[in-house]
Homo-oligomer: A and B are copies of this chain.
Amino acid sequence: MNNFDFHSPTRIIFGRGTQKEVGGYVKKYASKILLHYGGGSIKKSGLYEEITASLKAAGVDFEELDGVVPNPRVGLVREGVKICREKGIEFILAVGGGSVIDSAKAIALGVPYEGDVWDFFTGKAKPLRALRVAAVLTIPAAGSESSLSAVISDEETQMKLGCKTNLIRPVFSILNPEFCFTLPPEQASYGVCDMTAHIFERYFSNVPNTELTDGLCEAALKTIINNALKVLKNNRDYNAWAEIMFAGNLAHNGLLGMGRQEDWASHAIEHALSAVYDIAHGQGLAIVFPAWMKYVYKQNIPLFAQFAANVWGEKENDLNDKELCALKGIERTEEFFKSINLPTRLGQINVKKEDIPLMAKKVTSFGPVGFFKKLDYDNVVAIYNLAYQ
C-alpha cells in the first residue's frame, strides 16, 4: 500500500425531500449567490421552483446563469466569472449533473484570478484561491459533487482538459434519488458507465497489498451493476436509484483510490473522443474501457482474474486458467455495457478512422498517459483501433 493523504470534506445530504432545505445550508456561507444550471429540465421537474423558494425563505439573494451543456464550455465559464465579479458574489450553487457542477467549479476558480481561467486547465497557472461551491445533484454520474476535479472544453481548440485542486471540492452536496426518476434512460446508462469507469481507474493498479480498497471497489461495482438493470426496468425504483447515487458518489470522492496508483488513461482517451465528436462522456467510456482492458490486462493478469471472480462471479478454478478468467471479466464488462443499451464500438457511433491520429495526439499532447501501463501515442492509436473491432 502506498502512503496516502485522504481528505473528502464535502458534506453529503442524502435522501427524499432534502432539496427543500437547501436555503438553510447555503445561508451558513453566503447571502448572495450565483445559481448555475443547464437547460430547462429543472424547471420542468419543479426542482427550480423548490430551490428558489428555499433560497428566498432563507433570505438568500441569487443571480442566475443557465445554459450549461454536456462537455461544459469555457465560454460560459468566462461569462459566470464576469457576473460574479460584477455582482460581488462569493458562492456558487450548481443545480444539475457533473457538467453544471464542473462549470460552477471553473467559475469559482476564475473569479479571484487575474488571468484567464483556462490557464488552470492548460497548466499555465496553479490555483491558489476559489469561491465556495455547493451542489444539488440531479444526475448520478460524474461524482463531481464531492470530487476535487473539473473538466472543461474549449470549443475553439477542441481541447477538453481537467483541473484538480482541493479548493473546488463542494462544501455540501444534496443528493435526492427521486431526482433520477425523470432521467432519460440513455442518461441513466451514461451515468452508470461513468461511475464504473471512476472505479476502474482506481482499481486497476499495480500497487500490491491493497486488500481493503480492492474490496471496497468490488462492493461498489457490484452494487452499481446490480441496480443499473433495475432502474432501466423501472425508472421510479427509489431504492435502486439510492444505491446507484450513493455508489456514484463514493466512486469519485477519493476513498477508493487511497494507497493505490490511479490510472486515468481511459478518461484521457475518452476526453479526446468527446472533444472531437461531442458525444456523452459515459457513452465514450463504454467504448474506450473494454478496448483499454483488452490492451493492458497482461500487465497484471492476477488482478484482472480477481476482478472477474469478485465482481462478476467467474470461477477461476472452473476455468483453471487465470488468463481465461481475466478475459471473461472483460467480456462480462462489455456485455454489461451492452445490456444497458450502450454502443461499445467506435463504428457504432460513426467515428471516422482517419480521426484517430488527431485524437491520439490530443491524448498524448502532454506526454504518455496512465500508470497501470504507460501509454504513448502508438499505444493510444492501438487502443482506438481495438475499439473498432
Chain A contacts to B: CB under 8 angstroms: 1-9, 11-18, 208-209, 211-212, 215-216, 218-220, 222-223, 226-227, 239, 242-243, 246-247, 250, 255, 258-259
Contact A243 B209 (CB under 8 A): yes
Task: Using CB atoms, name the residue of chain B closest to A3.
Answer: B15
Which residues of B are found within 8 Å of A208, using beta-carbon distances? 239
Task: Using CB atoms, name the residue of chain B closest to A240.
Answer: B209
Alpha-carbon gap, A250 to B6, bound state (A): 12
Task: Using CB atoms, name the residue of chain B closest to A5.
Answer: B13
Contact B227 A220 (CB under 8 A): no
Contact A5 B9 (CB under 8 A): no
Which residues of B are found within 8 Å of A218, using beta-carbon distances? 215, 219
Contact A219 B215 (CB under 8 A): yes
Contact B6 A14 (CB under 8 A): yes
Alpha-carbon gap, A7 to B249, bound state (A): 13
Task: Using CB atoms, name the residue of chain B closest to A215.
Answer: B219
Among B5, B18, B242, point to the contact of A11 (Cβ < 8 A). B5
Among B212, B246, B255, B259, point to the contact of A212 (Cβ < 8 A). B246
Give, as a whole number of angstroms, the nearest-CB distance from A16 to chain B.
Answer: 6
Which residues of B are found within 8 Å of A220, using beta-carbon distances? 212, 215-216
Among B4, B15, B226, point to the contact of A14 (Cβ < 8 A). B4
Task: Using CB atoms, name the residue of chain B closest to A244.
Answer: B212
Contact A3 B7 (CB under 8 A): no
Which residues of B are found within 8 Å of A242, using beta-carbon distances? 1, 209, 259
Among B3, B227, B250, point to the contact of A18 (Cβ < 8 A). B3
Alpha-carbon gap, A215 to B8, bound state (A): 21
Which residues of B are found within 8 Å of A2, using beta-carbon distances? 15
With A211-B227, A211-B243, A226-B211 already in contact, the answer to whether A4 and B11 are too (CB < 8 A) is no
Task: Using CB atoms, name the residue of chain B closest to A213.
Answer: B246
Alpha-carbon gap, A159 to B167, bound state (A): 44
With A218-B219, A223-B212, A239-B209 already in contact, the answer to whether A12 and B1 are too (CB < 8 A) is no
Contact B1 A246 (CB under 8 A): yes
Contact B212 A250 (CB under 8 A): yes
Question: Can you give 10 A-B contacts (C-beta < 8 A)?
Answer: A3-B14, A4-B14, A5-B14, A9-B9, A211-B243, A212-B247, A215-B219, A215-B222, A216-B219, A246-B259
Contact B14 A212 (CB under 8 A): no
Which residues of B are found within 8 Å of A8, using beta-carbon distances? 8-9
Alpha-carbon gap, A216 to B2, bound state (A): 21
Alpha-carbon gap, A380 to B211, bound state (A): 37
Give, as a whole number of angstroms, the nearest-CB distance from A177 to chain B.
Answer: 8
Which 5 interchain pairs have the tightest Cβ spacing? Answer: A3-B15, A215-B219, A9-B9, A209-B239, A7-B11
Which residues of B are found within 8 Å of A11, using beta-carbon distances? 5-7, 9
Which residues of B are found within 8 Å of A4, using beta-carbon distances? 12, 14-15
Give, as a whole number of angstroms, the nearest-CB distance from A136 to chain B.
Answer: 15
Which residues of B are found within 8 Å of A12, using beta-carbon distances? 4-7, 258
Task: Using CB atoms, name the residue of chain B closest to A217.
Answer: B219
Give, as a whole number of angstroms, the nearest-CB distance from A321 to chain B.
Answer: 23
Alpha-carbon gap, A209 to B209, bound state (A): 31
Q: Which of A18, A211, A220, A223 has the most CB of B within 10 A?
A: A211
Give, as a whole number of angstroms, the nearest-CB distance from A222 to chain B.
Answer: 6
Alpha-carbon gap, A226 to B247, bound state (A): 25
